[in-house]
Structure 1
Amino acid sequence: MNFMGFFMMKNIFFSTLLIFALIACQSDEKKTENTESQNTESTESVDNSAVLRNDSALEVINQKIREDLENPELYVDRSELYFEAGDNQSGIQDLDRAFRLDSTNLKTMMAQAKFFTKGGRLEAAKRVLEKAKKYHPEDSDVHVMLAELFLIGKDYDNSLKNADLAVKYDMYNNKAYFIKAFTFLEIGDTTKAISSFQTSVEQNPDYYEGYLQLGLLYSELDNPLAIEYFENALEVRPNDKDALYSKAMYEQEHDMLNEAMASYTQAIKAHPDFREAYYNMGFLHMYYLKLYRQGLNYFDQAVQVDPMYYQAYYNRGYSFELLGDINNAAKDYRKALSIKPDYNLAAQGLDRVMSDIQTQQ
C-alpha cells in the first residue's frame, strides 16, 4: 500500500513558498495595460469607494490630500487602501495621479512595480524598477525587488548582482539575504543558501520567512535543527499554519509520534478547517499506531472539511477494511473513484473488498 499522500505537502511548501514570499497579495486577474493610461477627471479630486467610505484610515488620508494636493505619495498611500479593499479601479486611478504628479518619485515607482508584479506583468515591473534605479541608484529596496524579479525569471546572475548591490547600500536589508538564499538554492548551492538564510534572520530576529525556510531546508537534510527553526518561526507567529504543519511532518517522519500528535492537535485547534492536519492525524493513528477506529474518525473530519478529498475517502475506506467493515469500505472506495476515476489505490481496494463480499455470499 502506498502512503505517500502523507508526504505531499512537504514538496508543495518547499516549491511554492518562494512565490508567497515574493508576491504576498493576490493578483488581479483583469490586467490593466498601464497605470499611465488610466485617465481621471482631476488631480484634485478626493475619492471615496463604497467599501471604504466610513473607514477612518481613508478619511485621514483624504484630509491629508485636501491639505497637500500635489503630494504624489499620499495618492500612493490611498491606492494601497483601495487595493486592500478590493477596489482596484480606484487604486489604479490613484497610482495614475501619483505618476502624473511626479514620474520619478521613488515611492510611486515602487508602487507601480508592485502592481505590475502582482498582476504577473514582470517585464513591465522590471522596466519601472530600472527607471527607479536610474534616479535612485543607492536605494536598497529597488535592487531587492529587481533581484526578486530576476530570480522568478531564472536569471540567477542578475538576481545575485542586484541582491549584492542591495546589501552594499544597506547591509542590514534582511530580504536581500533571503533572495540570495533562494537564488543559491536554485543553482544547487545548499551551503551558501543556508548561510544567507541565517544571515537574514540575524539581521532581523523577527523574520518569520527566514526561520521557516531554514526549517524546511534542514528537514530536507534530515537535520534536527529543523525543529529549532520551526519553533523560532512559531515564536514570531504563534500557531502559524505552515510552521506547525512542517514541524509536525518532521516529527512524524522521525518517529517523534507524541510530538507530532501535539503539533497536529495545536494546528487543528488554531485552524479547524485544516484538512491536511486531520488527514495526517488519521494516517498517524492508522499506519503507525494501528488504531484504526481513531484514524477513521480523523479521515471523517477531513472529508467534512473538504468533501472532494479523495485521498481521505480512500484511507477512511482502508480503515473500514482493516476493521472488517467491508461494506463501508466499498462505499468509500467508490466515493474516492467517483472523484478521481483513475485512482488506482481505490480501484484495487474496491476489488479486494468486492471479492470478500462475493466470498461471503
Structure 2
Amino acid sequence: MRILLFSTGFLFILVTTACGGNSNKQKQKELSVDELYKKYPDSVPILIKHGNLMLERYDYEKALQDGAKAYRMQESNIEARFLYANALNNRANRSTSDVMAAQGHFKFVVKKQPKNTQALVALATTYAQQGDNEKAFYYINEALRINKKYRDAYILKGSIYLSLGNNKLAKSSYQTAIEQDPEFFAAYIKLGLIYQEENDPLCIQYFITATQLRPNNIEAYYNLAYAYQQFDKIDEAQQTYRQMLQKDPTFTPPLFQLGWIKQFKQNDPDSATYFYNETLQKEPRYVEAWHNLGLIYETKGEKYQAIQYYRKALKYNPDFAISEEAIKRLAKTK
C-alpha cells in the first residue's frame, strides 16, 4: 500500500534573463521534477519531491535512495524522514528490521504531527505487517477520528480483514474507500477479485469499471476477460483477450486463454493448437500450453506425439504433476 505525504507534479522556478540593454526581467520557467532532480541533486526539497514521485511510480528503491539521502542531509526534516520510512516500508524485499525502522520513524512523525492522517495510517501498516492487528486498528481509527473520509484508512482496514478471511468486512471497507474516491482503481480490482473468488458474477462490473479508469492497464483487462470466461460469457472473453493483444502483443496469457477456449469450450482443437503454438513461440516456458497440446494429441490417439509434449512441459517444470501423470497413463496403454 502506498501512502504519500506530499504531492508531486511540477515545480516552478524563476529564471532571470537579460533582454538586450533593458533591465533584467523575471521569466517563469516550468521544469518537471525529474529535470530539477538532475539539475539540483543535492537539494533536499527536490529530493523529497522526486522521492515521492518515485513512490507514485512504484519505484521504491529509487524512492529509498532519495529518502535516505534527504534524511542524512537533514535529520530534523519531517518530510525527509517520512519519505525514507515510507520507501523502506513499501519496498518488495523489506526485512523485519526495515519494518521496525520504518515504524520508529512513523512514530516520530506522529509525535510531532499527531493529526497527520497519512502518518497514522502508515504507522498502522507497520503493525499490520507485524501481525499486531489490534494496534493497527487503533491507529486506523485515530486517523478516521480526524478525517472520517480518509480513503487509505479504509483500504488498510480492507486489507487486514481480507488477511483474516473476513470477506464481508473487507468488501465493506473497500466499498467505503470507493465512496470516498470513486476513481480509486485498486479498490475496484480488490473487490472484483473477492467477488470472483466467491464465484459471484458481480466481479465483472468491478473489473469493467477498472478498465474504464485505466484503459491501458493489462492486469485489469486480464481480470475482466478471465471473469467473462469463468462465467461462460465466451464471446465477451474472446473479444477482451483480443483487445489485450492489440494493447500488448508480447503478453502471452491472452493467447493461451484463447487456445483454452477453443479446446475446452468450442471443441476446435485445430484453432486451439494454433493459439498454443503462438503462445510457445513467444514464451517457450509456458508449461500449460505444452500440456494442453499433449491433451489434444492424446485425444486424437497420437500417443507418442502427446508424450513428447508432456515431456516438454516437464522439461520447463519438472514438478508439473499432471504432465507426469499423463505420461504414466499413456505408458500403461502401450
List aligned pairs for 1:57-76, cutoff 5 A.
57-61=33-37, 72-76=44-48
8 Å Cα contact 2:280-2:289 kept in structure 1: yes
Q: Is the 8 A contact 2:103 2:126 kept in 1?
A: yes
Looking at structure 1, the residues matched to 62 and 174 of structure 2 have their Cα atoms a distance apart, in angstroms, of 38
Which digits, 9 at most, give the CA deviation of each residue in 1:7-52, with x for residues without a partner?
xxxxxxxxxxxxxx4599xxxxxxxxxxxxxxxxxxxxxxxxxxxx
Q: Are residue 345 (structure 1) and residue 322 (structure 2) matched? A: yes
Q: What does residue 43 of structure 1 align with?
A: none
Cα distance per residue 1:175-234 (max 9 Å; x no partner): 111111111222233222111101111111110001111111111222222111111111
Instruction: Tell me whether 1:177 sits opposite 2:154 in the alignment.
Output: yes
Cα offset for 1:64?
7.0
Q: Which residue of 176, 195, 202 maps to 1:199?
A: 176
Alignment equivalent of 1:259, drawn from 221, 236, 248: 236
Give the deviation of 1:169 after TM superposition: 2.1
Paired with 1:279 and 1:168, the residues of 2 have a C-alpha distance of 49
- Structure 1 residue aligned with 2:193: 216
Pairwise mapping of residues 223-262 of structure 1 onto structure 2 (< 5 A)?
223-262=200-239
Aligned to 1:8: none
Q: Distance in 2 between matches of 1:89 and 1:244?
A: 29
Q: Is this contact kept in 1: 2:64–2:84, CA < 8 A?
A: no
1:293 Cα deviation from its structure 2 partner = 1.1
**Structure 1 gaps, min length 5:** 1-20, 25-54
Question: What is residue 139 of structure 1 aligned with on the other side?
Answer: 116
Give the 3 Å change call, closer, same or farther, for CA 23–57 of structure 1 in structure 2. Answer: closer
1:96 pairs with 2:69? yes
Given residue 227 of structure 2, which amino acid in structure 1 is its aligned partner? Y
Deviation at 1:130, TM superposition (A): 0.8
Q: Matched residues in 2 for 1:330 and 1:301: separation?
A: 20
Report the equivalent of 2:291.
314
CA distance in 2, matches of 1:136, 1:308: 52
- Residues 278-314 of structure 1 show CA distances to partners (whole Å, capped at 9, x for unaligned) of 2222112111211111111222122223212222111
- Matched-pair contact (CA < 8 Å) for 2:3–2:122: no
Q: Runs of 5+ in structure 2 lacking a partner?
A: 5-30
Deviations 1:320-351 (A, max 9, x none): 33344444323212211222334332234335
Aligned residues: 302
Q: Partner letter of residue 204 of structure 2? A: I
Q: Any conservation in 1 of the 2:67–2:80 contact (CA below 8 Å)? A: no
Partner of 1:273, secondary structure, is: coil
- Identity among equivalent positions (%) equals 24
CA contact (8 A) 1:215 1:230 kept: yes
| Conserved? CA contact 1:303–1:312, under 8 Å | yes
Higher relative contact order (CA 8 A, sep 6+): 1
Cα distance change of structure 1 residues 300 and 65 upon mapping to structure 2, 3 Å threshold: closer
TM-score scaled by structure 2?
0.79
Q: Give the TM-score of the pair, scaled to structure 1.
A: 0.73
TM-aligned CA deviation for residue 138 of structure 1:
0.5
CA contact (8 A) 2:294 2:306 kept: yes
Write the distance in 1 (CA, Å) between the matches of 2:58 and 2:135: 35
The one-letter code of the counterpart of 1:234 is T
Structure with greater strand share of residues: 2
1:112 aligned residue = 84
What is the CA–CA distance in structure 2 between the aligned matches of 1:23 and 1:317, rounded to whole Å?
A: 48
C-alpha distance in 2, partners of 1:209/1:86?
17
CA contact (8 A) 2:64 2:87 kept: no
- Alignment map for 1:46-61 (pairs within 5 Å): 57-61=33-37
Q: Give the secondary structure class of the aligned counterpart of 2:306.
A: helix
- Does the 8 A contact of 1:218 with 1:225 survive in 2? yes
